[in-house]
Chain A
């Protein structure tokens, strides 16, 4: 049986990869993809904790899985909004390079 620690390891690795993508990428679309990776890392952690710790302490009713469902829902909304904003910026400035989009920089 795979123990909880290895799922936490996988989750931490995926989260770090996503963090690197958010910090190092220049294309706004790629940054959105990296955010999805980070959200998935969190989901793995939640689901693994829910499955392994069910019935212990405050872990009841597999609540981790339900929170993961909510995260997926919010992620879908987030992607829709983010891509609408990216499309809008592309139409106005003809770029999705986040280094060049500095109109809100003071």
Chain B
């Protein structure tokens, strides 16, 4: 059963990813990205990471896709049909295949012994997050605040100042 689910989700994830990098329509690319991200949430469920699956659907499937679609709508010009891939795409494909080869080789050369996936208890995760990782947690909130204030300042127009 978990094999069936895993293969289904892997096909959806990789298919969505290929859709993002191959389609010529930007809105279709965003929808393919949504498919891929939701399938990744499914992969987290196969790995018993329920909390992460929830976070993935909420943040990626909800927020990030909406923001990306907004950006597409706001920057949609007559140029989109023209913007597809640049001339170095064979080189890019070669580089991507090279990286894939290196990663596969490293995973194959030094394999870890097989083991069952385990499920964390929510309380363990929360304990870890708020004790061992408390300072990175607070820093992450600061980073988010700074980044979003910066985004507002960068994106606003000068005419509405004052």
Contacts and interface: CB of A to CB of B under 8 A. Distances in A.
A79 to B, nearest CB: 5
Given A20-B92, A72-B52, A73-B143, 8 more contacts: A1-B2, A16-B96, A17-B20, A55-B118, A61-B120, A74-B143, A77-B144, A81-B151
Nearest to B121: A62
Contact of A73 (B44, B124, B140): B140
B99 to A, nearest CB: 5
A95 B79 contact: yes
A81 B125 contact: no
Given A51-B118, A65-B51, A66-B128, A24 B89 contact: yes
A18 B92 CA distance: 11
The dominant DSSP class at the A interface is: helix
A13 B21 CA distance: 13
B75 A90 contact: yes
A17 B18 contact: yes
Interface size class of B (residues with CB under 8 A): 35 or more
Interface of B: 2-3, 6, 10, 13-14, 17-18, 20-21, 26, 29-30, 33, 36-37, 40, 43-44, 46-49, 51-52, 55-56, 59-60, 63-64, 67-68, 70-72, 74-75, 77, 79-80, 82-86, 88-89, 91-93, 95-97, 99-100, 103-104, 107, 111-112, 114-120, 124-125, 127-129, 132-133, 136, 140, 143-144, 147-148, 150-152, 154-155, 157
B64 A79 contact: yes
Interface in A49-106: 50-56, 61-63, 65-66, 68-70, 72-81, 83-88, 90-91, 94-97, 99
Contact of A24 (B60, B86, B107): B86
B68 A5 contact: no
A80 B26 contact: no
A2 B21 contact: no
A96 to B, nearest CB: 5
Contacts of A47: 43-44, 47, 49, 52
Contact of A1 (B60, B116, B148, B150): B116
B75 A69 contact: no
A36 B64 contact: yes
